[in-house]
Amino acid sequence: MNKEYVQPPRGVRDIIGIDAEIHEYLVEEFREVARLNGYKPVIPPTIEYSKLFEAKSGPEIKRSMYVFEDKAGRLLALRPEVTASIVRIYLRKLRGEPKPIRLYYVAQCFRYEEPQFARYREFWQAGLEIIGDQSVNSDLAVAYTASYYLDRIGIRHKYVVGNVAFYRVFMDNAKVPNEIQDEILHIIDKGETDKALAKLRRIVSSNFLDIIGSLLNTSLNDIEELILDSRGMLGEDSIKKLLNEYRRTLVFIDSLRELGYTVEYNPMLVRGLAYYTGLIYEYKSDKLKQSIGGGGRYDGLTSIYGGPYEYSTGLALGIDRIALALTEDKTIGINSTREVLVIIRNAPLVNGYNLLRRLNKLGIPAWVIETNSIKKALRLANKRNVAVAVIIGSREAKQGTVTVKNMESGEQRVVGEDEAPDLIKHIISKGPLSEPS
Amino acid sequence: MNKEYVQPPRGVRDIIGIDAEIHEYLVEEFREVARLNGYKPVIPPTIEYSKLFEAKSGPEIKRSMYVFEDKAGRLLALRPEVTASIVRIYLRKLRGEPKPIRLYYVAQCFRYEEPQFARYREFWQAGLEIIGDQSVNSDLAVAYTASYYLDRIGIRHKYVVGNVAFYRVFMDNAKVPNEIQDEILHIIDKGETDKALAKLRRIVSSNFLDIIGSLLNTSLNDIEELILDSRGMLGEDSIKKLLNEYRRTLVFIDSLRELGYTVEYNPMLVRGLAYYTGLIYEYKSDKLKQSIGGGGRYDGLTSIYGGPYEYSTGLALGIDRIALALTEDKTIGINSTREVLVIIRNAPLVNGYNLLRRLNKLGIPAWVIETNSIKKALRLANKRNVAVAVIIGSREAKQGTVTVKNMESGEQRVVGEDEAPDLIKHIISKGPLSEPS
């Protein structure tokens, strides 16, 4: 075999078999839960102008984008994430809609990174976005929906919460340029706080440096005091904003706890995307070291793209990682359909398809095979774990009958074509496999 | 507004609003019908090595591929079609499975062509493939499933059928190299039969030229005679193969007609893809000039990629075009959910989410908004066509009650938190909008 043809490109996958069924199950459940929570679908293009993402995705993502020229020399990119597209679409088409605007998407994203466990160059994101609402309720709204979804598919999860506004307000006051803020937050995100502080030392005065250093080590309870202690360094507006961010974080955490979730505040949580402006969080599951999703506030990303300032918040869940985090007992039920195989031998194919149509209308999964050996076809039926085989040979075709065979018990019966669908339905619904585990 | 940020790249679309809901409806129905017919999902990667498609997709598609180098200098392509990936995946992972192998996919494809009505640079294909079965039953199987799907979503459609084997066998016998065969078929596909024959004249003897010219003008009924008349020119194997192809085409067409579909034989139908080897067909709807899908036999594509020879057949439907062909009365029902809006004012957000969870578990679409003005929130409820508003203010929160307002009749009632879900369910299911049109 020609190996260069059969391999997919490095870092991307062929999703087949039970993995493909799990993927579809996870996506369909997500869509259903999103709709159940009043979100509307958006399907953004897979390719965008690369500058859309360069504007505010952050250095890591910029480095790992698939960028290429189209034949007219325009720089395009395979999307590394979806929020930038959603904001673009909002500005282009949805500005006149009543706010808040609640949107969901399921889309594959692309990052050119070293492949490793649970990290692929093409991966699937399921996301929620709310545009046009300042209230922490919107943060809670998307988090509630994500948790409801994760609960429904049986993923035990906890929240890790942070707030980048604490750092941004102090750095704004110390006149640290935005791009350097992004860079420093990115270094903090990698856990290299010493390096981040060393970099800041060259730019800001020691009292700013001290307070940022303290923020990195302060529990949420003590942040209010730390903010109030900064009254000398900051204007009243900044203090107000910080207290406001503190309170939002508290309400977010307390509400989730009251809803029964485990929530942990981590001052060093920053996340990879440079557009976050305030409250942020990640989802952790018991089964996986990596986070299975995350989100946060990205107020004003609309104005980075030249539009009016809008409050906005959202999150994305990693479908591939959730698939890895699914417990085994959850995946067993997914592929337990009870199929019917209609076997045609020396008879008109259309007899098979007329029966198939009637079975399909009853919701019974079925398909037709033409064979010159009933025995061979029954062997296939066994291998595919078929529940009922229906045999239409030349004799049956002449008589207007079919032979219905219960593949489990082995018993079979010749019945009129018209009686077959009900009999088959009866066999299928009585079988022990019909109760999904 | 910065226009360079808000536009998507030329030729690709933002699918939003009712269009996005229709897209999801079409995709979900397709998946359900495919599963109902015993097909299993496959999710191939969006990017492949470009040589996978260059091997046998045809000159038109090769010209319009998005090709780019990754950072290691490998030539990648955004898939212009999906069958090549499916065959690759079969060779890599599915060769040991019991045959026939029945697969389905839904995937976006990319072609860099001049944008025009119903032709986009990114477009969605829903496809079925059967590998490992020579019987015309497999051609009929995928066609039946596609028609069942189109019937179910209300698309009246007819078949246009051809068979490229008629041309290929004669050209094989006249020793026309494969690539030139592909080229000539491609010219026929564009309707330029004179040009195709002129090109052939330089390669083949006049009796071959005559018979190929006749094939282009012969109804299916007369093809048998034409084949038998060629006994002097062709070996017995070729005659047998041609008669076999003739009979397959006849059975395919007759069976579809017996199942109630309109089928037309068109000797000039060739289709754009160079990998077709025999029976081919397209779907036409009343509402659209362009075909809404098509398929055919691609026996032996597996050996082009260096694997063993396998019989195979498949089809793909164009989701974007089907969306355009949907009749209006079909689209009205799609977006008719009856939502509940839970309005929180000066009350704990968590009260809203506890209620939301109970509504969600009853399958009732709902979401929570925090407001400082009930009036404003009710105005939003009206704009969004909400069925029931639930108000939780400070008084309600203290009393453990909620105010339930029927947005249609305007009547409202204060009830205990625990009674609210049933009352809301009652209002929603009784409303006149609950009968989808």
Closest B-chain CA to A301: B5
β-strand A40-41 against B293-297: which pairing, if any?
Answer: unpaired
- Asked which of B279, B299, B331 is the last residue of a domain, the reply is B331
Task: Say if CB B335 and CB A41 are below 8 A apart.
Answer: no
The answer to whether residues B37 and A360 touch, using CB atoms and an 8 Å cutoff, is yes
**Does B268 contact A at CB distance below 8 Å?**
no
Task: State the pLDDT confidence band at A334, using cuts at 50, 70 and 90.
Answer: low
How far apart CA B401 and CA B396 sit, in angstroms, is: 5
- Selection from A158, A157, A131, A152 nearest residue A39 by Cα: A131
Residues of A in contact with B351 (CB under 8 A): none
**Minimal Cα–Cα distance from A193 to chain B, Å?**
31
CATH number at residue A49: 3.30.930.10
SS3 A92: helix
Distance between CA B2 and CA B4 in Å, rounded? 6
3-state DSSP call for residue A98?
coil
Of B278, B298, B331, which residue is a domain's last? B331
pLDDT at A5: 82
The residue that leads in pLDDT, B69 or B414, is B414
CA distance B88 to chain A (A): 5
Mutate to test the interface with B, among A122, A353, A357, A376 (most CBs of B within 10 A): A353
Please tell me whether residues B130 and B91 are part of one structural domain. Answer: yes
HSE, side-chain direction, 13 A CA sphere, residue B179: 3
Residue B256 pLDDT > 80, yes or no?
A: yes
What tokens were used for B37? Answer: 């017919």
pLDDT band at B329 (very low <50, low <70, confident <90, very high): low
**Mean pLDDT lowest among A101-105, A427-431, B123-127:** A427-431
- CATH code for the domain in which residue B370 is found: 3.40.50.800
Contacts of A191 (CB under 8 A, 6+ apart): A268
- DSSP calls for A198-259: HHHHTTS-HHHHHHHHHHTT--HHHHHHHHHHGGGTS-HHHHHHHHHHHHHHHHHHHHHHHT
Q: What is the mean pLDDT of residues A240-268?
A: 97
Chain B residue with CA closest to A258: the answer is B350
Token digits for B436? Answer: 């989808």
Please give the tally of structural domains in chain B: 2
Q: Indicate the Cα dihedral angle A270, A273, A274, A279, nearest 10°.
A: -50
Q: Are residues B253 and B161 in the same domain?
A: yes
- Torsional sign, CA A77, A82, A84, A86: positive
Tell whether B131 is covered by a domain.
yes
B7/A52 touch (CB, cutoff 8 Å), yes or no: no
B306:A2 CB<8 A: yes
pLDDT score at B435: 41
Residue B434: which pLDDT band, with cuts at 50, 70 and 90? very low
* A183 and A128 together in one domain: yes
B111 and B209 in a single domain? The answer is yes
Residue B179 pLDDT? 87
The Cβ-side half-sphere exposure at A215, using a 13 Å CA radius, reads 31
Measure in Å the smallest separation between the Cα of B213 and chain A Cα atoms.
Answer: 33
Let me know whether A316 and A262 are in one domain.
yes
Q: What is the pLDDT of residue A338?
A: 85
In a shared domain, residues B201 and B284: yes
pLDDT at B314 over 70: yes
Tokens matching residue A396 = 């049956």
Which of B331, B346, B363 finishes a domain? B331
Per-residue pLDDT, A198: 94
Q: Which domain holds residue B308?
A: 10-331
Could you tell me if A146 and A199 lie in one domain?
Answer: yes
Residue A120: pLDDT above 70? Answer: yes
DSSP state of B98: P
Smallest CA–CA distance, residue B190 to chain A, in Å, is: 24
- Residue B244 corresponds to which amino acid? N
pLDDT at residue B238 is higher than 60? yes
pLDDT at B366: 96
**Residues B319 and B366 both lie in one domain:** no
How many Cβ pairs within 8 Å bridge chains A and B?
290
CB contact under 8 A, A353 and B24: no
Do the Cβ atoms of A92 and B7 come within 8 Å?
Answer: yes
- Per the omega criterion (within 30 degrees of 0), is the bond before B8 cis? no
- Residues sharing a CB contact under 8 Å with residue A343, sequence separation 6 or more, in sequence order: A368, A369, A371, A374, A377, A378, A381, A389, A390, A391, A392
Average pLDDT for B262-282:
92
Nearest-by-CA chain A residue for B23? A43
Q: Whose structure tokens read 């590394």?
A: A80
pLDDT for res B437: 36
Q: Amino acid letter at B57?
A: S
Residues A193, A51 within the same domain:
yes
Angle at B377 between CA B375 and CA B383, to 5 degrees: 105
Report the candidate in A290, A323, A293, A283 with the shortest Cα–Cα distance to residue A119: A290
- What value, to the nearest 5°, has the Cα angle with vertex A391 and ends A386 and A394? 160
Contact A37 B76 (CB under 8 A): no
- Amino acid letter, residue A159: Y
**A363 and A303 co-located in one domain:** no
Q: Is residue B5 part of a domain?
A: no
| Residue B13 burial by Cβ neighbours in a 10 Å radius (0-12, 13-18, 19+) | middle
Per the structure block, which two tokens stand in for B179? 């690539």
Distance set, CA B369 to CA A136, A340, B366, B410 (Å)? 10, 48, 10, 20
Residues B400, B370: contact at Cβ < 8 Å? no
CB contact under 8 A, B13 and A45: yes
**Nearest-CA distance B32 → chain A (Å):** 10
CB neighbourhood size of A278 (10 A): 24
Mutate to test the interface with B, among A10, A36, A50, A301 (most CBs of B within 10 A): A36
Per the domain annotation, does B436 fall within a domain? Answer: no
| Token pair 């479908």 in the structure block, residue | A319
Give the C-alpha separation, B383 to A99, whole Å.
Answer: 10
Residue type, A86: I
CB contact A255 to B (< 8 Å): yes
On whether any CB of chain B is under 8 Å from the CB of A113, the answer is: no
**Does A260 lie at the interface with B, CB-CB under 8 angstroms?**
no
CB atoms within 10 A of CB B152: 15
**Residue linked to tokens 């999307």:** A79
Q: Do A305 and B66 touch (CB under 8 A)?
A: no
pLDDT of residue B287: 87
- Give yes or no: residues A422 and A303 share one domain: no
CA distance A422 to chain B (A): 17
Separation between Cα atoms, residue B149 and residue B90, nearest integer Å:
25
Task: Note the pLDDT tens digit of each residue in B155-196.
Answer: 999 999 999 999 999 999 999 998 899 889 989 988 899 999
Give domain status of residue B420, yes or no: yes
Do B286 and B364 fall into the same domain?
no
Give the SS3 label for residue B103.
strand
Neighbouring C-beta atoms of residue A288, cutoff 10 Å: 18
Q: Note the pLDDT of residue A437.
A: 36
Q: Are B194 and B279 in contact (CB under 8 A)?
A: no
Specify the DSSP class assigned to residue B335. G
Question: Cα dihedral sign for B343, B346, B347, B349?
Answer: positive
